[in-house]
Amino acid sequence: MDELLDIVDESDQTTGQTKSKKDIHRDGDYHRAAHMWIYNDLGEILFQLRSHTKDLYPGLWDITGGHVGAGETYLGAAVRELQEELGIAASPTDLELLFNQRDPVVQREFQQVFLLGYNGGIQTLRLQAEEVLDARFFTVQELRDQVADKDRRRIFCPVPKYYLNVINMIEQRL
């Protein structure tokens, strides 16, 4: 069964209506998602390879994220998605809200972007097979070089300005 999401208005206020994720995407309703950027003390950022069954950007590298379920908060969705997709048991206090944005591509999705420091290795992750094919840490420089290059960035979701903005924010913290 497709998860239910809250429909929100152009100001990100709930309307009291819910729909399935599939119907919201089909109808172009405003809705919410949480993005989680995960970095470690080595100056690396975790990206995950999206499953080939994903409706958007299958088989491309992306940060961790997911839709906010009906009645759920952005932060609650972030904690849930980290556990479901990667097996990371984060508490709400582990996450730092970086900023709010509208999806850079479709503009019908409001997003809260969170930062999580995580020093566990790739081998400690439990990848959700339906969502994630692989995960790896990229160095900040490696990401910057690949995302800035028109040909090399084709392995990533097509949001290079967004990626570079957050990569720069993370680098300032390292």
Taking CA atoms, 19 is separated from 25, 40, 126, 156, in Å, by 10, 37, 29, 29
Going by the DSSP 8-state scheme, the letter that residue 43 receives in this structure is: S
Q: What angle do CA 97, 101, 102 make, to 5 degrees?
A: 145
Low-confidence ranges of the chain (pLDDT < 50): none
The residues, ordered by sequence, that sit 6+ positions from 64 with a Cβ below 8 Å of its Cβ are 35, 36, 37, 38, 46, 48, 81, 82, 85, 86
- Per-residue pLDDT at 174: 81
Give the model's pLDDT for residue 164: 96
H or E stretch covering 75:
helix 74-81
Per-residue pLDDT, 1: 58
For residues 169 and 164, what is the distance between their CA atoms, to the nearest angstrom?
9
What is d(CA 130, CA 144) in angstroms, rounded to the nearest whole number?
Answer: 28
Residues 6+ apart with CB under 8 A from 13: none
Residue 155: predicted pLDDT = 97
Residues paired with residue 4 on neighbouring β-strands, in sequence order: 20
CATH 3.40.190.10 fits 4-173, yes or no: no
pTM of this structure: 0.95
State residue 107's pLDDT score.
79
